[in-house]
Amino acid sequence: ITIVVNAAITVTGTTSFTATYGFARTLDTFTSSGGTGSKTFSISPTDSHISINTTTGAITLDSTTPSGTYNETVTSTDSQGSTGSLAIQIVVASGITISGGSNIFATSGFMKKSSAFIASNGTGTKTWSLQNNPSGVTIDTNTGVVTVDSSTSSSGSPFTITVIATDSLGAYTTTTMTITVYPALTLSGGSLITTTAGIADTATAITYSGGAGGVTWTLSDNRTGLSIDSQGRIKVSSAATAATFW
């Protein structure tokens, strides 16, 4: 007679895994060597959210696996009922949450930034991205700061934009923000003032369109005797000296 005694079963593979709540994940397969005949895999203790492919040894976590640490044993059983096993640990991180950030109110032609969005929980480093963002609106993938650059058009404003935080395993969550871009500020009206030193005069009002909300008026050449009022009217007082002002 011939008696064959095969080597004891050994199970090899990765022993430490991570996942993020809310996203299903299939972990690496395990390898079984030794034993007699075909072998099947099982996992214990059993959990309704964790399963194993009996042929390949691939472990699957469903999307509702609660966050926490799971100490499991992967077992390979041969046709004779002999077993080999490997202890593994699965850590499921809490789902990603987003806080911070701010809506943006900008005027075409001028850059504006949001406060930083903050991503908590999840696994590893989180990166930022946007959906439905118009041309000129970007997000810093590391800091979560949204920028509306000066080229962003007001056409179609306001914009509802999706902000996405993605962790190192590809799990993600989203929030929305609103960006309002007002048309560029333009000026018109006013009138030429021609007067004599010592004689006060007032120009007709300069009018504006576009921009965000009300405006305040200032003069870049605010010499003695020159001023502008809250209605956009430039005034020359009797204190102005003889000169040409541009």
Q: What is the pLDDT of residues 125-137, one digit of tens each?
A: 999 999 999 999 9
CB atoms within 10 A of CB 7: 10
- Does residue 105 register a pLDDT over 80? yes
Q: What is the pLDDT of residues 214-223, one digit of tens each?
A: 889 998 877 7
Task: Name the nearest CA neighbour of 74 among 62, 93, 89.
Answer: 89
Q: What is the mean pLDDT of the chain?
A: 93
pLDDT at 245: 65
Global pTM reads 0.81
Q: Give the Å distances, CA to CA, from 166 to 120, 123, 211, 212.
A: 11, 9, 35, 34
